[in-house]
Structure 1
Amino acid sequence: MIARSLWLAGAASLAFCASGVRAENSTPNTPADSAPEVVAPETEAPDTEAGDTEASDIVVTARRRAETAQNVPIAISVVSGAQIDSTGAFNVGRLQQLAPTLQFYTSNPRNSAVNIRGIGAPFGLTNDGIEQGVGIYVDDVYYSRVASATFDFLDVAQIEVLRGPQGTLYGKNTTAGAVNITTNQPTFDFEAKAELSIGNLNFKQAKAAISGPLSDTLAARVAISATSRRGTIYNVATDRWTQSQDNIGIRGQLLWKPTDNLSITLVGDYNKQDAVCCSSVFVRTGATQRPLNRQYEALAAAQNYQVVSRNPYDRLTDLDANLNAGNEIGGAALRIKWDVGPGTLTSVTAWRYWDWQPENDRDFTALPIVTKSQNPSQQKQYTQELRYNVSADRFDFVVGGFAYYQRIDTQGTEAHGPASSRWTLNPSSALANDPSVLDGLTAINTQYLKNTSLALFGQATWKVSDHFSIQPGIRVNYDKKKGFYQRRVFAGDRSPVVYGPTDAVTLARLGVFAPQEISPTFSDWNFSYDLTATYKPDRDLLFYATYAKTFKSGGINQNGVPSDASNNPILAAATVKPESVHHFELGAKTEFWDRRATFNLSAFRTDIKNYQANVNNGQFGVLRGYLANAGKVRTQGVEADFSVRPSARFHAYVNGAYTDAKYVKFVDAPCPPELSGGSNSPPNCDISGARLPGVSKWAFSFGAEANVPAKFLGKDGQFYLGYDGNYRSDFSSNPTPSAYTWIDGYALSNFRGGFRTGDGLDAYLWVRNAFDRNYMEQLSVGPGNTGLIVGLPGDPQTWGGTVKVRF
């Protein structure tokens, strides 16, 4: 009781962090809701005796039932909570360093995308009118907002990254894959854990979790988390560091288990970010087809402006507009598991919300060109999933239904300042020398989206023999979207700016902000299916082949559409066709050397017709981006995962992927900046054959850890040294490949070393990006076809220490 009281007092005084996970050498403890306890993956050292060299089986729930990862005919990467902690991969952005086929891109929490094998969501500005191709699930609850991926993982036990379509098993249809996150569950045995990390850049992170019984049938678990860090880019205009981290989260669970056959879990979580974000740095300029006096260098010189630094790795910026990235996400869920008849009935009812309060500087300079750019947004979603699972000697199946409703409201304000006329208008025009023409010009955007999705799905496994099985799956889906978009424009004196008057000032203003109102709608039925054949000649070898015919729901354009010659919105562009997906995959999984080593191999090809792509407009505020269908996209490649554990004192892993993802046919794509801006520039470009954005052809992750038994400060344990690294080759950072936006390949190295004991103490030092490699995470084309290229540098070298305890 004394230890428990001390723990509770310590957790309360810290008021810090979550993602509390089992320490590396912990003893397995079955959670109270009868879900399988996940064990450490191949890259984590389990609690084994010195002579035990056989790795523990990794239990996953990818097919909605507990089974070992090596028996699942799916390409899957498994990362334990312990590995997340030890490698510092505490959100999806860092998780991609451990899973080579996962790509995560973000310029701010709203403009974030998660892709697998190069597909999932179009690269560029977020458009609420379409679905994500990669589903994020936390304890069976679908998270529709990728913004949730920017938060810290909260009390995570295990993460499964599933590659390939998953629509016949998971609630929301996903064409590229899923990130399936399992958190630690309430237990009827008391347990508590805490973790504190400090490092350079004023990094502070704390995690705490406590779990135990409230009665014989009621258990509770609470986890809290906090992360703060100084930013990595210094803004000389405001004397502030930007790109900071300021996250806090809490997750609480109540488990009622009146009988062995019934468990009911009530979950609530709250997460908030209040970072100084998001900025960029000057990278370079590139020639466009604009007249020379309308390109960046001439426009900057005309206003005596010089950027604070032309070396992006000085990490200096001079943005003059307010920056903010207020981000709040939370929700509640009720999960019921009832063993009834020959199977288990599962019901998951959830409500989630998202509140986004941004402020940006869209001209990327210290000049008052765009003085305000903000699109605050509020979302609520409701989901209900019902599944029935049966496992028998020769026949397993899952049948279920899923209902989803989402409402998003967005209120946008964009305004120009006194420097806009000289920057935006043709310098040969007398209006360019009159600041009042565009000073105060403001667009007020109002939009909403109502999104409804209903589905029935099922998947069965017929074990034809002890070695061969077939697994068919089907899904019937109905989607309906209803949207509204309105843009009203006002001059600096608050008078409306509308079409009709033909005076030069009005036309100049309409060339920057154009009023528009549309009410797009979309609805459609879809039928999809898949078939997997599995051959398992012995315990340690499995082969599988999969074909899937699936889809991604059609969508609507929520950010406006182009206008015709009469200035009327082109309503044909208001809706986007569904993607039609054909997916093929072959794989092999094997264990050898008395199960000391594991090697998995997969080859895949995915063809997508009517691929949903972003089309960007270069002018200020006219139309930032809208969705269109590319003719056809293909991604294909090979993935391999290898791990070895010759003894309890050493283990190592290498994971690699070759991905060839390209536009097979896209004849009316937006042109790159070098072909844009001139009076004779093509209205669109044929980029058939070009590589998809954000995709590296080669990606690897690799690492090792060694330990030796020792006694330190009177405690028996082990000293250990670990290394984790990753490499990715070059990739395009623009929806249409441009010579100005290729990001060079780079490799990162992380080291850790410390001492841990079998009773829950772990203390270690760490360094990430150990060799202080300069690299870019993302490049963006500045507005207006001026040739400005800005970027977001990756984190510099960071170092610190961590102490973890478990009771």
Structure 2
Amino acid sequence: MASACVRGAWSAALIRVALTSSALTCISMPALAQEAGAETASVDPNEIIVSARRRSETLQETPVAITAVNSAMIEDKAALNIGDLMGTAPNLIITNQASGAAAANLSIRGLTYADVEKSAEPTVGVVVDGVFIGTSTGQFFDFFDIEQIEVLRGPQGTLFGRNTIGGVVNIRRTRPTGELGVKAEISYGRFDTLATRAVVNVPLGQNLALKGFYFHNQSDGWYRQAQDGRRRGGSNNENFGASLLATPTDGFEALLTIEKQVQDFDPATSILTNSGDAFCALAPAQECNRNTTGDLYTVFGEPTSSHYSAPAATLEMNLDVGEVKLTSVTGYRESEEGQTQDFDSSSTDLYYVYRGQDYDQFSQELRAAGNFGPSFDYVVGAYYFRSNYELDQWTRVTAFSPGVDPRDYDQNPQHVEGKTRSIAVFGDFNWAFADKFRLSFGGRFTRDKKALSNAFGGVLIGQGSDSFKKFTPKVGVDYRPSDDVMVYASWSRGYRSGGFSPRAGSAESASRAYGPETVDSYEIGGKFDMMGGMLQLNLAGFISKYKDLQQNNNVFCATCATQNETVTSNVGSATIKGIEADFTLRPTQGLTISGALGLLDSKFKGFIVGGVSPVTGAIIPFDFSNNDLIYNPDMTASLSATYTVPTSFGEVVGNVGYRYIGRYDQQISVGGLTGDTTNGPAIVTGNDPRVRTDEQNLVDASLTTRFDLAGTEAHVTLFGRNLLDDRGPTHGFTVGGLFAFGTAREPRTYGVTLGVKY
């Protein structure tokens, strides 16, 4: 929050707000997530320092659509993981994906990649301590040891790791403090959910500081097995590691973090197969044609399990040589997964798989930041990323052999190997070219090389290798008529690399590359402080032109081992328009009220791919242009209030929040057909309603008491999430007229947390 306030009349302020726009959630507590190596200065307690542009700037001075959430807000809301951000930022959707460990489906401004395959990078980047996580697996992040989170909306190619077309969730964890200290919590809640977390800081001398951390979270899950009533969907998650901070001189520091995440869980899914699917004739009648609300919480499938192990290391080094600050961020991450899943989700053994995957990634980023005089500053750098993965999948299809390990049953397992190599150079510049005016411009040149091979039963089906390159510029201008108002306009281009289809089952499909997709985003915005700094009110408007969309299509394949294949291809274009608004109001001491609103309107154009004619069985053109884009709710909104009351023993903090998420679809699918269904084009009338999430009305609340306990700061928090018990799906998927399955969102839950800090 900027320190100055609007001095004009209230009506005049409203007029100015109505004529300008921005998108920014402002937090009442300070959060010092400064770029390492930057100079630290005293800040107004109502300001937030962000590093969205790899510079230390106040939130209100940053001409970027950004939401910042600090540790105090996370604690007050009893937030547990990255999924609790949904609704806090406008036009942000985050759901958990059961087909992969700690996997997240993220959508910002209607741009998403809802898949767990590791052949393609996510549309929305999750960056942890400066390192881009290259797959959706591992993105569903725990929130205990967090200093600040920044959600950047729109393409972020000039500064953040891999080129991202949708946006970035930038997570910065706490650094070793150099002072002896402990922060620990234990929580227990519904569904036998138990969480224990601890962070310990230890000084190791004048120039060394150590931080150790351990998180544990387990739950029995919120599904019920129909046959015996036992809980399904349980999980056990462990995350542990240590960070060592060395500061041998005033101008140099190095931060090394070594960690590991281990997760064991039951990837339970709910059956959504109906009478139009072939598998409905093979499953018990009572398991077909079920609804997508309350029925989702009862499951019928066979036992499943998943084990995920992911060690990682990050080294960040900063050198201040006076006029220039140099930064190096090195990241390494690998994972090993073994997962069984009953995809048909019925009590009949129809489609059961074992998926084993190995993945590793390495990234190296080098940056230089400085100034050319008082009116020009810059960040320039280079980036390298490489990843390798192997997938082995054994499948039982209509085997009617429950209990038989797919690795024993399937004599022709699928084996996929993929490689990615990427290099990039980038620059981002600010030039104050006139009084109160600033020009921001920059760009990134990226060259990607990808290779993939696909085999069944040890016999190579197909392979391919290709390179993709793109220059993605960004330019913007901002104007500050006073200390209380900033307006800006920008244009940026986002790029997502092409690649190959890992689920291809034919030689032609496996060797054919799909091309890159691009987004041109146009945005106007403004940021305002009003009523003596009591109110921040912000609006934004944007138009995104989405070209050469990468979409998965499940098609019939007579020569494939499973008689169908999923192929990624470039299909047409889309236009997404949106308005975003948010505010923070502090009407009295101790009370903070905040809200956010996001509106989206999106439309496909020229989305034509091959489909199977229901009349002849031949492949004919299907036109999907009338379908909704996935993860594109028409509206997201939130309203929350936090009230802090000082007491004789400490303080009491109450928080209540409401989030509204409009309905959205999770898969491009066939809901109905018109037009020429014999020769084409057949007109698809919309997505299958089984992959549609209904409207969500989510109410969360917490009450925290903080007090002194023998010289130690302690707290007790009572919390409740989804108090209205709004039930429905988070994910739905249909498979080529064979079957369909889905997952359910967390129902009403509640619990208590005990914590200490010293």
TM-score (normalised: structure 1): 0.81
Secondary structure, in 3 states, of the residue corresponding to 1:389? strand
State the 1:688 CA deviation. Answer: 1.5
2:643 alignment partner in structure 1: 706
Cα–Cα, structure 1 residues 265 and 228, in superposed 2: closer, same or farther, change >3 Å? same
CA offsets per residue over residues 734-769 of structure 1, 9 Å max, x none?
213124433221210011113224873221211111
1:323 matched to 2:290: no
1:268-417 → structure 2 map (5 Å cutoff): 268-276=258-266, 278-283=267-272, 285=274, 287=276, 294=278, 296=280, 298-300=281-283, 306-307=286-287, 310=290, 313=294, 315-320=297-302, 322-370=303-351, 372-391=352-371, 393-416=374-397
2:106 alignment partner in structure 1: 114
Indicate if the aligned counterparts of 1:39 and 1:58 stay in contact, CA closer than 8 A. Answer: no
| Aligned residue type for 1:750 | D
1:804 matched to 2:755: yes
State the 1:382 CA deviation. Answer: 1.0
CA offsets per residue over residues 525-547 of structure 1, 9 Å max, x none?
21111101011111121111111
1:766 to 716, 719, 722: 719
1:450 matched to 2:450: no
Indicate if the aligned counterparts of 2:433 and 2:439 stay in contact, CA closer than 8 A. Answer: yes
1:527 alignment partner in structure 2: 471
| Aligned residue type for 1:444 | P
Structure with higher strand content = 2
Secondary structure, in 3 states, of the residue corresponding to 1:668? strand
Stretches of structure 1 that go unaligned for 5 or more consecutive residues are 1-23, 41-53, 289-293, 422-438, 490-514
2:127 alignment partner in structure 1: 137
Aligned residue pair count: 699
State the 1:187 CA deviation. Answer: 1.5
CA offsets per residue over residues 183-214 of structure 1, 9 Å max, x none?
10111233321112111211111221122320
Indicate if the aligned counterparts of 2:30 and 2:45 stay in contact, CA closer than 8 A. Answer: no
Indicate if the aligned counterparts of 2:94 and 2:107 stay in contact, CA closer than 8 A. Answer: yes
1:488 matched to 2:488: no
CA offsets per residue over residues 305-343 of structure 1, 9 Å max, x none?
6439946525221112x4112122221121110001402
1:641 alignment partner in structure 2: 582
Secondary structure, in 3 states, of the residue corresponding to 2:636? strand
State the 1:132 CA deviation. Answer: 1.8
How many Å separate the matches in 2 of 1:351 and 1:89? 28
CA offsets per residue over residues 709-753 of structure 1, 9 Å max, x none?
323xxx2x2223210121111111321312443322121001111
2:652 to 679, 696, 719: 719
1:627 matched to 2:574: no
How many Å separate the matches in 1 of 2:596 and 2:70? 16
Indicate if the aligned counterparts of 1:741 and 1:779 stay in contact, CA closer than 8 A. Answer: yes
How many Å separate the matches in 2 of 1:190 and 1:31? 23
1:696 alignment partner in structure 2: 633
Stretches of structure 2 that go unaligned for 5 or more consecutive residues are 1-26, 403-407, 670-686
Indicate if the aligned counterparts of 1:399 and 1:459 stay in contact, CA closer than 8 A. Answer: yes
Indicate if the aligned counterparts of 1:32 and 1:186 stay in contact, CA closer than 8 A. Answer: no
How many Å separate the matches in 1 of 2:99 and 2:740? 17
2:22 alignment partner in structure 1: none
1:21-36 → structure 2 map (5 Å cutoff): none
1:266 alignment partner in structure 2: 256
Indicate if the aligned counterparts of 2:37 and 2:319 stay in contact, CA closer than 8 A. Answer: no
2:682 alignment partner in structure 1: none
Indicate if the aligned counterparts of 2:274 and 2:290 stay in contact, CA closer than 8 A. Answer: no
Cα–Cα, structure 1 residues 805 and 466, in superposed 2: closer, same or farther, change >3 Å? farther
State the 1:366 CA deviation. Answer: 0.8
Secondary structure, in 3 states, of the residue corresponding to 1:685? strand
1:730 to 663, 669, 679: 663
1:54-69 → structure 2 map (5 Å cutoff): 56-69=46-59
Cα–Cα, structure 1 residues 95 and 328, in superposed 2: closer, same or farther, change >3 Å? farther
How many Å separate the matches in 1 of 2:468 and 2:139? 29
How many Å separate the matches in 2 of 1:485 and 1:112? 25
CA offsets per residue over residues 486-524 of structure 1, 9 Å max, x none?
0129xxxxxxxxxxxxxxxxxxxxxxxxx7611111102
2:680 alignment partner in structure 1: none
How many Å separate the matches in 2 of 1:719 and 1:642? 24
2:3 alignment partner in structure 1: none
How many Å separate the matches in 2 of 1:307 and 1:226? 36
Indicate if the aligned counterparts of 1:308 and 1:317 stay in contact, CA closer than 8 A. Answer: no
Indicate if the aligned counterparts of 1:462 and 1:469 stay in contact, CA closer than 8 A. Answer: yes
| Aligned residue type for 1:631 | G
How many Å separate the matches in 2 of 1:611 and 1:181? 28
Indicate if the aligned counterparts of 1:618 and 1:785 stay in contact, CA closer than 8 A. Answer: no
1:664 matched to 2:644: no
How many Å separate the matches in 1 of 2:698 and 2:185? 25
Secondary structure, in 3 states, of the residue corresponding to 2:342? coil
Cα–Cα, structure 1 residues 775 and 37, in superposed 2: closer, same or farther, change >3 Å? farther
1:215-234 → structure 2 map (5 Å cutoff): 215-234=205-224
Secondary structure, in 3 states, of the residue corresponding to 1:469? strand
State the 1:38 CA deviation. Answer: 12
Cα–Cα, structure 1 residues 540 and 780, in superposed 2: closer, same or farther, change >3 Å? same
How many Å separate the matches in 2 of 1:146 and 1:440? 30
1:436 alignment partner in structure 2: none
How many Å separate the matches in 1 of 2:618 and 2:78? 47
State the 1:281 CA deviation. Answer: 2.0
Secondary structure, in 3 states, of the residue corresponding to 2:434? coil
Secondary structure, in 3 states, of the residue corresponding to 2:76? helix
Indicate if the aligned counterparts of 1:91 and 1:151 stay in contact, CA closer than 8 A. Answer: yes
1:538 matched to 2:476: no
Cα–Cα, structure 1 residues 115 and 453, in superposed 2: closer, same or farther, change >3 Å? same
How many Å separate the matches in 1 of 2:410 and 2:615? 25
TM-score (normalised: structure 2): 0.86
| Aligned residue type for 2:553 | V
1:780 alignment partner in structure 2: 733
Secondary structure, in 3 states, of the residue corresponding to 1:464? strand
| Aligned residue type for 2:741 | V
1:492-507 → structure 2 map (5 Å cutoff): none
2:13 alignment partner in structure 1: none
Cα–Cα, structure 1 residues 78 and 209, in superposed 2: closer, same or farther, change >3 Å? same
Indicate if the aligned counterparts of 2:208 and 2:244 stay in contact, CA closer than 8 A. Answer: yes
1:685 matched to 2:622: yes
How many Å separate the matches in 2 of 1:692 and 1:559? 22
1:754 alignment partner in structure 2: 704
State the 1:86 CA deviation. Answer: 3.5
Cα–Cα, structure 1 residues 742 and 120, in superposed 2: closer, same or farther, change >3 Å? closer
CA offsets per residue over residues 124-178 of structure 1, 9 Å max, x none?
x444332222111111111112111234235111110001111111221111111
1:203 alignment partner in structure 2: 193
Indicate if the aligned counterparts of 2:528 and 2:536 stay in contact, CA closer than 8 A. Answer: yes
1:557 matched to 2:538: no
State the 1:550 CA deviation. Answer: 3.4
2:79 alignment partner in structure 1: 89
Indicate if the aligned counterparts of 1:309 and 1:316 stay in contact, CA closer than 8 A. Answer: no
Secondary structure, in 3 states, of the residue corresponding to 2:72? helix
How many Å separate the matches in 1 of 2:279 and 2:451? 40
Secondary structure, in 3 states, of the residue corresponding to 2:73? helix
CA offsets per residue over residues 65-107 of structure 1, 9 Å max, x none?
1111111111001111232333343222232242232222423
Cα–Cα, structure 1 residues 792 and 682, in superposed 2: closer, same or farther, change >3 Å? same
% identical aligned pairs:
26
2:10 alignment partner in structure 1: none
| Aligned residue type for 1:116 | I
1:425-444 → structure 2 map (5 Å cutoff): 440=409, 442-444=411-413
